[in-house]
Amino acid sequence: MAFADPSSGTKPESPPVTAREEQPGKVILVGAGPGDPGLLTLRAVERIRAADVLVYDRLIHDGVLALARPSAEKIYMGKEPGHHARQDEIHALLVEKARLGKMVVRLKGGDPFLFGRGGEEVEYLAEHGIPFEVIPGVSSCLSAPLSAGIAVTHRESSSSVVIVTGHSADGSEDRVDWEAVARIGTAVFLMGVHNIEAIVRNLLVAGRSPSTPAAMIQMAYCESERVVADTLENIAAEVRRANIEPPATLVVGEVVRLRERLQQLVALHAPQKEGEV
């Protein structure tokens, strides 16, 4: 350590500052919603536009990425369904970029803290002294049913809703209390396309009625949105017959009947074209 010489009146030389010792930037976890850029929050748009670096997941809409400055660095770190090995890489990348003084936006589909591993990421950032912020997003557990005309709660049908990951329904690391889920009025399953048969089987074994209405919504709020509806005992076969692929959201419960009811009402009150009777 250098000390000033009182007799000389000079100040000690400061040691050179390395990149690691510079004031770190910040990492902002942003929920990008179900896909449509129009469903981003105002704060999410502000942060995306101000970002130096965007680290984004699979299924982030091109329109969302287009909100960033042309000079922003865009890094794709998407993971295919069932493959999570890149999470350690993502952790390291966020810290690396923040330590360069960058404002880093971590774009995640839906909401960062709902099956998005956002909790793990902010924990890692905190452990490494990186400032962070979390901006919520519109989750598909609510937006996908809404897009299909299904209210997850309804005064006459359901006063409770449970949100479940479909990833582990096949028995691998399954921590779901299926008997508890089967008793809830509305059950919403995310990431459950590949395990739809196991989900149905578990619900039926746990006591859910085979005639319970169910619907699978694919690509909510996109032009390619598709909805398949049937009874619980038949929904898996219908999903396979329709070649439904992720991302898709499964809704199980009496509230699914509202979709048909709304369609009937809309058709009943739709203005007639000239010449129609």
Paired residues of 75 in beta bridges:
55
Beta-sheet strand order (sheet of 213-218): 161-165, 186-190, 248-252, 213-218, 226-231
What's the CA angle centered on 117, arms 190 and 165, to 5 degrees? 20
Number of neighbours of residue 165 by Cβ within 10 angstroms: 16
- Among residues 74, 79, 170, 174, the one annotated as catalytic is 79
Describe the crossing of helices 87-98 and 118-127 by its angle, rounded to 10 degrees.
50
Give the closest residue to 74 by CA, choosing from 91, 92, 57, 54.
54
- Among residues 57, 97, 102, 108, the one annotated as catalytic is 57
Clarify whether 79 is annotated catalytic: yes
Beta-sheet pairing, 53-56 with 103-108: parallel
Clarify whether 57 is annotated catalytic: yes
Residues noted as catalytic: 57, 79
